[in-house]
């Protein structure tokens, strides 16, 4: 209201005219002149009556006033003489003003003042803010792309753009709409006047908003004036005034780059309503748009979500609906396990309502992929094989790496390869999308690895569908008897807590079966009538209530603090004191209690598939499900109905020694990530509880994540596969977690010894030598070995077995060695699932084929494997029977007898455990590979089926390499002959040469621990043949083994006998040879065209003496001498034998010491002398000295005897020089030299014949007509 009040002298305060604008020139000053001649005061109206010359002087206005005293006052004096009084006024003192105390501001006044200060601050910053906004203001072209939402629902078109009045439409580009009624609601174009009015109204609205809402007091601004903001000058066509700079026209905003428009693709999927409702419950459905936008904008995306979020089944469907499988492209999904690949393909096909021809799978041995396949689930090894054939994966548009957190070896290799394939495809304008899906938040190995991904990929986190899980820790951690602690905890859970399945985690198969037996004995299936069951349940419920009341009273008396909010169920199992049932002993749970039946099932990886499927079925009515499993139940399988998890905190892992190759199973603590995965099994369908049998302090010491598999196993098979992909420098490969340099060196040394890689070039510097050792190229044998999907040692055996009809047997042996655990474990801890008959369970006694006529001996009569088939016995062993140990002993004796039968006698027995495998597979295949036969003879049916599939795959691979072999899988395969068994032993020795062991001799026994022990080149400790081996009592001198397992001792498995004379012949790279023996003398082999000799040797690193054998003559000067001798004698070419009698000197002159050449100058320029043999570095690299180097060694060691004349035999020197010049030390090299020069060696040979025979020699040269 204060602003609207009329103030005093409002007219006098008004300005006469508009003030000067900012920036205009200042007006001339006003000068006031007072003169005495004029007696009147010059006013404003007198200006028109005076002369203009008196009024203006130098552009300034002059006012002249005349005074009575005739004095003239010019200008404006500070004492203003016009109003001075005539008399001096008396000065009076004003009364003193009373000083008023300044009152403090009230709360309201303080708020008002604060608002005023804030408004001043905003006002002072307004100009700066407007300037900043003008810098980022959108151009007019961009503003036309926006639309207002103020007219939504009023009938106006939302996407109608404002048409310019001067816009000209080119002919033929008019927008045509054929929709009926499209022009019915055409918007009327506003006229120019309406546009101006709307702009003025907008400006008025803006000016009203700019006004200050609270007026300042007039006194505050008395000395200052605030100039208004100058209006924005409108563009005009008038010329600028003279002297004023012409402002440049505003530059037009550059047009924004438009992204290429892509048509939206949507592939409809006809899902059922029930399936759609289930999909909507998954957490990942809410992240579909985020995931698809990230996939569209980035080539590599990481999706991180816990198990149960639905990423495995839904992300492929997102990509399918977005059109990534169109144009005959495939969406590839890799899984680390074959079971997961098959199950996920079936699940996705069911959800999408598509056939298995569209959503298919491909695993190692089988698949249903067709030309119509659009989504392909496969194992990571299958995709790695496809990369070997098609490196760019041109048929795939998207590749999904699932379960990347498990960090399997092939997953790491695939991620490294695909990181480069994505870049190569982008350069060819064929983009490939890579999705890495992980169940944990361990993505630093991918996002923070610049060698793997130069630009970190985006990470999308998906929440999991997980119910809360309460974790309970033990107060004390059992160090040894954790299995017994698991049993006591299960008993307390089963007796005290509400219904819900129990999942128990143990370390191995033996522990699983032992705990299953104890639980079945403690809680046997109930055989009572239903009425008795109800009575028993009522009694047990009453007893439970009484127990809980007594426990609650005892709880109050304890001095330990308890949380008040703890519910009864949590308190029931919070500590061991709470769980004590007061039965007087810890083994009270062993007493059978039929009133509380427990349905106990084992679960581990080697269990038969039909038995694994039992855990997914609902338990019998009135029982509680209890699954005792290994770590296979952590991530691979989700068991329904699990509410309680008992975690022992241990896991059995296989560890490999990088240098020695010894593998051992060790029980260690799990990682924190694995423990969380185990706890998450309890929260799938309802809130659950996890009981950890260790303290929270121990849990804090666990490692956060388990180490990747590539750091815990040998990598020679990976190195060979990568070398086959032409990746020579493996050390530079972008591994997510690279293996150690020691593991890479050990792998390359093994491949060099197997002949798969070329030896590294020798270098003077150590660094260059190390560099060469890590970049060895692959050989032709190595490429052949890489085509077989087995370990390099076994691939070498297959490559050597194409002789004497050994291929079918070698394939069977390799398949049996690749598949582990062919025989069932028959120890006191084993347990078999009972056979249920009726309400209870009964177990069939051990019988023979007379009581079980499924397989009888007469069915196998007439076939060589008939005597190997054995009798039919039942392996269903009662879990709680007193005769269990006796039956187990009987079963073990029967299996041992069958092994001796399959091993045979004589030469077959020397093949050892591999002959047992060959006989077991042959007998099983002849019997039809039925589960009954496998159970009868202690074989694992699952392993036998896997061997059958692997045999088919290896047979196809061999036929692809050697089509003329024409192999097939013969179910009626005949046993090998004795000669074939000998060849198989040699083939196995060549493949397992680094796994050679020698029995410790009696004279070498220093301690009792070396009795019946073996010594290996890489181990200082003794190793023994495993008691289950067929050669356990034979104890051959030399054996080769498949692997060494470390338990209480180090045991060799897969043992086969080796003859000592085979070692230097089959394993020359592991032997250090002496110089050739003089007796027996070197000979010439006409079949091979080589010079042979006998040499003794020792085995590397251990120095085992080996007998002398006939081998190729070592490269050197002596090799040329012996070849020249055999050439002169006519053994190389028969045509020269007719001239032997006419020779001027005996051919043996080439070997005489006095006939050596004395002038060694032509040979000294070849290389520096190198000592023959394997040095410290050469022993590791298995490289022998070159021929020229050994030649220089021999020549440098020669000295001319003083008593002999100079150049005694010049013909020997000339012939030797000619042979060395062309490196003709064998028949093939000599024939190659004659192809280049037919007159080669003619002059040198003529020196050995009389002059008269030279024309005949020249006519018949070269003497190769008979060859």
Tell me: pLDDT of 724 over 70: yes
* Dihedral angle sign, alpha carbons of residues 1136, 1137, 1142, 1148: positive
Q: Which of 632-636, 671-675, 1256-1260 has the lowest mean pLDDT?
A: 632-636
**779/723 Cα distance (integer angstroms):** 9
Query: What are the tokens at 50?
Result: 């005076």
> Can you tell me the distance from the alpha carbon of 822 to that of 2, in angstroms, rounded to the nearest whole number?
103
Return the minimum-mean-pLDDT range out of 35-44, 660-669, 854-863.
854-863
Can you tell me the distance from the alpha carbon of 771 to that of 748, in angstroms, rounded to the nearest whole number? 12
Percentage of residues of the chain with pLDDT beyond 70: 67
Q: Check pLDDT > 80 for residue 542.
A: no
Q: Which of 487, 493, 494, 484 lies closest to 593 in space, CA to CA?
A: 494
Tokens found for residue 405 = 């957190």
Query: Which is more confidently placed, 806 or 39?
Result: 806
User: What's the predicted TM-score (pTM) here?
Assistant: 0.65
Cis omega (within 30 of 0) on the bond before 973? Answer: no
The owner of tokens 């039965």 is 583
Give 29 or 702, the one with higher predicted confidence: 702
Round to whole Å and give the CA distance between 1004 and 1019: 16
Is residue 702 very low, low, confident or very high in pLDDT (cuts 50, 70, 90)?
Answer: very high
- Whether pLDDT at 195 is above 60: no
Extract the runs of DSSP E, i.e. beta strands, from 840-983. 840-842
Quick one: pLDDT at residue 258? 55
pLDDT band of 1136, cuts 50, 70, 90: confident
Which region among 698-702, 804-808, 1169-1173 has the lowest average model confidence (pLDDT)? Answer: 1169-1173
Nearest to 873 by CA among 892, 858, 859, 860: 892
313-331 mean pLDDT: 91
The more confident residue out of 577 and 1241 is 1241
Checking if the pLDDT of 771 tops 80, the result is no
pLDDT at residue 4, rounded to an integer = 55
- For residue 178, pLDDT beyond 70: no
Phi, psi of 1057 (to 5 degrees): -80, 150
- Above 50 in pLDDT, residue 647? yes
The beta-strand segments (E) located in 1077-1169 are: 1083-1085, 1090-1099, 1105-1112
Per-residue model confidence (pLDDT) at position 395: 92
- Is the predicted pLDDT of residue 374 greater than 80, yes or no? yes
Considering only residues 296 and 879, tell me which one the structure prediction assigns the higher pLDDT: 296
Confidence of residue 1190 (pLDDT cuts 50, 70, 90): very low
Spatial contact of 1100 and 1179, defined as CB atoms under 8 Å apart: yes
Q: Is pLDDT at 798 greater than 60 in this prediction?
A: yes
Lowest mean pLDDT among 695-704, 1102-1111, 1150-1159: 1150-1159
**pLDDT of 832 over the 80 cut:** no
- Which residues have CB under 8 Å from 705's CB, separation 6+? 440, 442, 671, 672, 673
Read off the pLDDT of residues 441-453 as tens digits, 9 standing for 90 and up: 677 778 888 888 8
Residue pLDDT, tens place only, 1208-1247 = 478 888 888 889 888 888 989 999 999 888 889 888 888 8
Answer yes or no: is pLDDT of 974 > 60: yes
What integer pLDDT is reported at residue 632 of this predicted model? 83
Please state the separation of Cα 1009 from the chain's center in Å: 44
Which of 1117, 1039, 1127, 1112 has its CA nearest to residue 1082? Answer: 1112
- Nearby residues of 1075 by Cβ (< 8 Å), 6 or more positions away: 1095, 1114, 1172
d(CA 190, CA 1136): 115
Q: For residue 252, what pLDDT is reported?
A: 53
Task: Report the alpha-carbon distance of residue 390 to residue 602 in Å, rounded.
Answer: 43
Q: Give every strand in the sheet of 359-362, ordered side by side.
A: 359-362, 375-379, 330-335, 396-401, 433-438, 300-305, 459-462
Q: Tell which residue, 1028, 1025, 1031, 1003, has the closest CA to residue 1012.
A: 1025
**Predicted confidence (pLDDT) per residue in 866-909, tens digit:** 444 443 333 333 344 556 777 778 888 888 888 888 888 888 89
Q: Are 742 and 659 in contact (CB under 8 A)?
A: yes
**b/e code 1031-1056 from CB counts within 10 Å (16+ = b):** bbeeebebbbbbbbbbeeebbbbbbb
pLDDT tens digits along 1047-1060:
888 899 999 999 99
| pLDDT at residue 319 tops 90 | yes
Structure tokens at 1249: 């014949």
CA angle 982, 986, 988 (to 5 degrees): 115
- pLDDT confidence bin for 708, thresholds 50/70/90: confident
pLDDT tops 90 at residue 190: no
Residue 650, strand partner residues: 669
Task: Please give the pLDDT value at position 628.
Answer: 94
Share of the chain above pLDDT 90, in %: 21
Provide the token pair at 392.
């760019």
Residue 960 pLDDT = 86
Q: How far apart are CA 824 and CA 611, in angstroms?
A: 15
Q: What is the pLDDT of residues 547-563, one digit of tens each?
A: 455 455 445 444 444 44
Mean pLDDT of the chain: 74
Residue 710: pLDDT over 70: yes
The sign of the dihedral angle between the CA atoms of 1217, 1222, 1225, 1230 is negative
pLDDT of residue 884: 72
At 1090-1101, the pLDDT tens digits run 999 999 999 888
b/e map of 1230-1251 (b: 16 or more CB within 10 Å)?
beebbeeeeebbeebbbebeee
Task: Please give the pLDDT value at position 829.
Answer: 44
Angle ∠(214,218,221) on CA atoms, nearest 5:
95
Q: E strand or H helix at 660, and its extent? A: none
589-603 pLDDT, tens per residue? Answer: 556 666 788 999 999
What's the average model confidence in pLDDT over 673-679?
88
Task: Report the phi/psi class of residue 606: left, alpha or beta, with left for phi > 0 and alpha for psi in -120 to 50.
Answer: alpha
CA separation for the pair 1191, 1167 (Å, rounded): 10
Mean pLDDT of 1144-1168: 58
Chain segment 217-256, per-residue pLDDT in tens: 333 333 333 334 344 444 444 444 444 444 555 555 555 5
pLDDT tens for residues 1006-1044? 777 788 899 988 888 889 999 889 999 888 999 999 988
Q: Indicate the range of 32-36, 771-775, 835-839, 1003-1007 predicted with least confidence.
A: 835-839
- Residue 656's contacts (CB-CB under 8 Å, 6 or more residues apart) are 662, 663, 712, 713, 714
Q: How far apart are the first and last CA of the chain?
A: 129
HSE value, Cβ hemisphere, 13 Å, CA-based, for 387:
25
Instruction: Check residue 88 and report its DSSP letter.
Output: P
Give dist(CA 436, CA 334) in Å, integer: 10
Question: What pLDDT is recorded for position 608?
Answer: 78
- Looking at residue 778, what DSSP letter applies? B
Is the bond preceding 745 in cis, omega lying within 30 degrees of 0? no
In the predicted model, is pLDDT for residue 16 greater than 90? no
Three-state SS for 837? strand
pLDDT at 1039: 94
Question: What angle is formed at CA 679 by the lines to CA 676 and CA 682, rounded to 5 degrees?
Answer: 150
CA-derived radius of gyration, the chain? 50
Cross-strand bridge partners of residue 1056? 1040
Mean pLDDT of 200-217: 42
Give Cβ neighbours of residue 363 (< 8 Å, ≥ 6 apart).
338, 341, 342, 378, 379, 382
pLDDT tens per residue across span 937-950: 888 888 898 899 88
Q: How much is the pLDDT for 844?
A: 29
């Amino acid at each position: 209201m204060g602003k609207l009040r009329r103030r005093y002298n409002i007219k006098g305060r008004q300005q006469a005219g508009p003030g000067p604008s900012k920036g205009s020139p200042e007006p001339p000053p006003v000068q006031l002149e007072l003169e005495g001649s004029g007696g009147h005061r010059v006013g404003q109206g007198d200006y028109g009556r005076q002369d203009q010359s008196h009024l203006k002087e130098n552009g300034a206005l002059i006012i002249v006033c005349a005074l009575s005293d005739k004095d003239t006052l010019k200008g404006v004096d500070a004492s203003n003489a016009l109003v001075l009084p005539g008399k001096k006024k008396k000065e009076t003192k004003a009364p003193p003003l009373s000083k008023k105390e300044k009152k403090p501001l009230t709360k309201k006044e303080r708020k008002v003042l604060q608002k005023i200060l804030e408004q001043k601050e905003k006002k002072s910053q307004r100009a700066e803010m407007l300037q900043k906004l003008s810098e980022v203001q959108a151009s007019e072209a961009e503003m036309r792309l926006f639309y207002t939402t103020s007219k939504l629902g009023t009938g106006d078109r939302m996407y109608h753009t404002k048409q310019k009045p001067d816009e000209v439409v080119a002919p033929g580009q008019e927008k045509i709409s054929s929709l009926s009624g499209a022009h019915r609601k055409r918007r009327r174009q506003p006229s120019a006047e309406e546009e101006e009015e709307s702009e003025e109204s907008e400006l008025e609205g803006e000016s009203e908003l700019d006004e200050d809402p609270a007026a300042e007091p007039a006194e505050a601004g008395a000395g200052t004036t605030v100039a208004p903001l100058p209006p924005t000058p409108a563009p005009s066509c008038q010329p600028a005034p003279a002297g004023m700079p012409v402002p440049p026209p505003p530059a037009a905003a550059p047009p924004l780059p438009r992204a290429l428009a892509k048509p939206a693709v949507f592939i409809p999927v006809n899902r059922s309503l029930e399936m759609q409702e289930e999909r909507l419950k998954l957490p990942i459905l809410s992240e579909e748009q985020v995931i698809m936008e990230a996939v569209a904008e980035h080539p590599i995306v990481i999706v991180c979500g816990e198990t149960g979020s639905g990423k495995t089944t839904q992300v492929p469907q997102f990509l399918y609906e977005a059109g990534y499988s169109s144009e005959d492209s495939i969406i590839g999904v890799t899984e680390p396990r074959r079971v997961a690949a098959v199950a996920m393909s079936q699940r996705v096909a069911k959800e999408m309502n598509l056939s298995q021809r569209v959503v298919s799978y491909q695993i190692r041995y089988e698949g249903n992929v067709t030309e119509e396949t659009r989504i392909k689930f496969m194992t990571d090894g299958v995709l790695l094989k496809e990369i070997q054939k098609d490196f760019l994966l041109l048929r795939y548009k998207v590749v999904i790496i699932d379960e990347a957190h498990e960090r399997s070896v092939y997953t790491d290799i695939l991620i490294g390869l695909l990181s480069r394939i994505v870049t190569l495809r982008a350069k060819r304008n064929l983009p490939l999308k890579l999705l890495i899906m992980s169940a944990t938040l361990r993505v630093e190995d991918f996002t923070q690895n610049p060698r793997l991904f130069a630009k970190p990929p985006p990470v999308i986190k998906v929440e999991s569908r997980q119910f809360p899980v309460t974790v309970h820790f033990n107060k004390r951690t059992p160090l040894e008897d954790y299995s017994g602690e698991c049993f006591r905890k299960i008993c307390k859970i089963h007796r005290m807590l509400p219904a819900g399945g129990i999942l128990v985690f143990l370390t191995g198969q033996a522990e699983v079966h032992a705990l299953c037996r104890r639980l079945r004995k403690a809680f046997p299936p109930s055989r009572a009538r239903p009425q008795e069951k109800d009575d028993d349940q009522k009694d047990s419920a009453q007893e439970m209530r009484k127990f809980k009341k007594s426990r609650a009273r005892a709880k109050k008396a304890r001095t330990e603090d308890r949380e008040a909010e703890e519910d009864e169920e949590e308190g029931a199992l919070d500590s061991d004191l709470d769980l004590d049932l007061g039965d007087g002993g810890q083994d009270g749970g062993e007493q059978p209690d039929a009133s509380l039946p427990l349905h106990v099932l084992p679960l581990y990886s080697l269990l038969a598939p039909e038995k694994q499927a039992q855990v997914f079925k609902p338990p019998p009515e009135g029982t509680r499900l209890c699954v005792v499993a290994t770590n296979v139940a952590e991530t691979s399988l989700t068991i329904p109905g699990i509410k309680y998890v008992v975690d022992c905190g241990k896991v059995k892992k296989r560890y490999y020694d990088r240098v020695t190759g010894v593998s051992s199973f060790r029980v260690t603590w799990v990682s924190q990530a694995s423990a969380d995965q185990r706890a998450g099994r309890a929260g799938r369908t309802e809130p659950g509880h996890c009981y950890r049998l260790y303290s929270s302090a121990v849990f804090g010491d666990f490692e956060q994540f388990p180490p990747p598999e590539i750091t815990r196993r040998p990598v020679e098979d990976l190195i060979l596969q990568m070398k086959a992909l032409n990746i020579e420098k493996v050390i530079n490969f972008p591994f997510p977690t690279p293996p150690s340099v020691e593991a890479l060196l050990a792998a390359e040394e093994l491949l060099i010894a197997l002949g798969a890689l070329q030896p590294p070039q020798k270098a003077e510097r150590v660094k260059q030598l190390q560099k060469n050792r890590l970049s060895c190229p692959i050989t032709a044998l190595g490429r052949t070995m890489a085509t077989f999907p087995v370990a390099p040692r076994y691939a070498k055996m297959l490559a050597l077995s194409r002789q004497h009809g050994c291929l079918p047997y070698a394939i069977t042996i390799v398949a049996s060695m690749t598949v582990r655990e062919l025989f069932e474990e028959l120890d006191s801890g084993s347990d078999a699932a009972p056979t249920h008959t009726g309400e209870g369970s009964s177990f069939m006694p051990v019988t023979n084929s007379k009581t079980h006529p499924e397989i009888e001996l007469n069915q196998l009569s007439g076939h060589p494997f008939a005597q190997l088939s054995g009798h039919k016995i039942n392996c269903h062993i009662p879990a709680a029977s007193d005769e269990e140990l006796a039956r187990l002993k009987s079963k073990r004796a029967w299996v041992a007898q069958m092994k001796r039968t399959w091993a045979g006698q004589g030469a077959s027995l020397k093949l050892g455990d591999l002959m047992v495998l060959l006989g077991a597979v042959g007998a099983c295949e002849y019997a039809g590979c039925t589960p009954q036969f496998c159970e009868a003879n202690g074989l694992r049916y699952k392993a036998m089926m896997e061997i059958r599939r692997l045999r088919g795959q290896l047979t196809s691979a061999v036929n692809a390499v050697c089509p003329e072999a024409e192999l097939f899988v013969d179910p009626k395969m005949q046993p090998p002959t004795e000669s074939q068994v000998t060849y198989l032993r040699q083939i196995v020795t060549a493949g397992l040469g680094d796994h050679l062991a020698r029995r410790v001799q009696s004279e070498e026994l220093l301690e009792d621990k070396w009795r019946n022990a073996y010594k290996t080149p890489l181990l200082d400790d003794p190793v023994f043949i495993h008691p289950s081996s067929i050669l356990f009592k034979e104890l051959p001198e030399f054996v080769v083994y498949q692997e060494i397992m470390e338990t209480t001792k180090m045991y060799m498995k897969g043992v086969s006998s080796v003859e000592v004379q085979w070692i230097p012949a089959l394993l020359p790279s592991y032997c250090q040879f002496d110089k050739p023996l003089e007796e027996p003398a070197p000979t010439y082999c006409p079949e091979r065209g080589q010079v042979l000799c006998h040499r003794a040797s020792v085995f590397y690193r251990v120095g085992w003496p080996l007998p002398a054998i006939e081998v190729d003559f070592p490269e050197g000067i002596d090799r040329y001498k012996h070849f020249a001798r055999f050439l002169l004698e006519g053994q190389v070419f028969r045509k020269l034998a007719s001239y032997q009698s006419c020779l001027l000197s005996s051919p043996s002159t080439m070997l005489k010491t006095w006939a050596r050449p004395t002038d060694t100058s032509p040979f000294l320029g070849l290389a520096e002398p190198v000592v023959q043999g394997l040095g410290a570095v050469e022993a590791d690299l298995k490289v022998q000295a070159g021929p020229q180097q050994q030649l220089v060694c021999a020549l440098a060691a020669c000295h001319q005897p003083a008593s002999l004349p100079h150049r005694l035999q010049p013909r020997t020197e000339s012939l030797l020089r000619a042979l060395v010049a062309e490196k003709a030390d064998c028949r093939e090299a000599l024939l190659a030299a004659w192809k280049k020069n037919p007159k080669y060696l003619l002059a040198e040979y003529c020196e050995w014949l009389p002059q008269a025979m030279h024309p005949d020699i020249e006519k018949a040269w070269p003497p190769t007509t008979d060859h």
